[in-house]
Chains A and B, each alone.
Chain A
Amino acid sequence: MTGNKLLSIQGLTTEFPTPQGPLVAVNGVDLEVARGEVLGIVGESGSGKTVLGLSAMGLVGLPGKVTAGRILFDGQDLTRHTEAQWQAIRGKRIAMVFQDPTTSLNPVQRIGAQMIEALQAHRDISKDAAKRMVLEAMVRVGINSPKERLLAYPHQFSGGMRQRVVIATALLNEPDLIIADEPTTALDVTVQSQILRDVRRLCQDTGTAIIWVSHDLGVVAQIAHRVAVMYAGRIVEQGMTNRLLKTPSHPYTAGLIASMPANAERGERLRSIPGGLPQLSNLPVGCAFAPRCPQASAACEVLPELTSTSAEHAVRCVSPLNEAA
Chain B
Amino acid sequence: MFAFVLRRGMQSVVVLFVMSLIVFSMINLVGDPVDMLVNPESLPDEIERVRRDFGLDQPVYVQYWKFLTGALSGDLGNSFVFGRPALTLMAERFPATLELAICALIIAVTIGLPLGVYAGLRPDGLGARFIMGLSVLGISIPTFWLGLMMIIVFSVILGWLPVSGRGETAVFLGIESSMFTLDGLKHLAMPATNLALFKIAMVMRLARAGTNEVMAQDFIRFARAKGLSSRRIVRAHLMPNILIPIVTVVGIEFGTLIAFATVTESIFAWPGLGKLVIDAIVNLDRPIVVAYLLFVVALFLVLNLVVDIIYAVLDPRVRLQGDEE
Contact = CB atoms under 8 A, between A and B. Distances in A.
Consider the complex of A and B and state whether they touch directly, i.e. have CB atoms less than 8 Å apart. yes
Interface of A: 57, 59, 61, 83, 87-92, 95-96, 98, 100, 103-109, 113, 117-118, 121-122, 153, 155-156, 166, 169-170
Contacts of A83: 230
Contact of A91 (B226, B241, B244): B226
B244 A108 contact: yes
Nearest to B214: A106
B236 A104 contact: no
Interface string B66-109: 00000000000000000000000000000000000000000000
A91 B240 contact: no
Contacts of B224: 59, 90
B221 A59 contact: yes
A109 B236 contact: yes
Contacts of A61: 221
13 contacts: A83-B230, A90-B225, A90-B226, A92-B227, A98-B222, A105-B222, A106-B219, A106-B241, A107-B241, A118-B226, A118-B228, A121-B232, A155-B316
A83 B231 CA distance: 12
A103 B218 contact: yes
B264 to A, nearest CB: 35
A104 B241 contact: no
Contact of A155 (B219, B314, B320): B320
Tell me the interface secondary structure of chain B in the complex: helix
Nearest to B218: A103
Contact of A121 (B229, B237, B240): B229
Contact of B226 (A100, A107, A108, A169): A169
Given A108-B244, A109-B236, A109-B237, A121 B228 contact: yes
B315 interface: yes
Given A92-B227, A108-B241, 5 more contacts: A90-B225, A91-B228, A98-B218, A113-B236, A170-B225
Contacts of A92: 227
Contacts of B227: 87-92, 118, 121-122
A16 B106 CA distance: 41
B317 interface: yes
A91 B315 CA distance: 27
Interface of B: 217-219, 221-230, 232, 236-237, 240-241, 244, 314-317, 320
A104 B219 contact: yes
Contact of B236 (A98, A107, A117, A153): A117
Q: Which of B227, B240, B314 has the most CB of A within 10 A?
A: B227
B83 to A, nearest CB: 54
B225 A57 contact: yes
Nearest to B225: A96
A57 B62 CA distance: 75
A190 B201 CA distance: 51
A117 B218 contact: no
Contact of B316 (A59, A96, A108): A108
A57 B224 CA distance: 9
B228 A87 contact: yes
A108 B240 contact: yes
Nearest to A87: B227
A80 to B, nearest CB: 18
Contact of A117 (B232, B241, B314, B315): B232
B219 A117 contact: no
Given A107-B316, A153-B317, A155-B317, A117 B222 contact: no
Contacts of A88: 227
Contact of B320 (A57, A108, A121, A156): A156
A104 B222 contact: yes
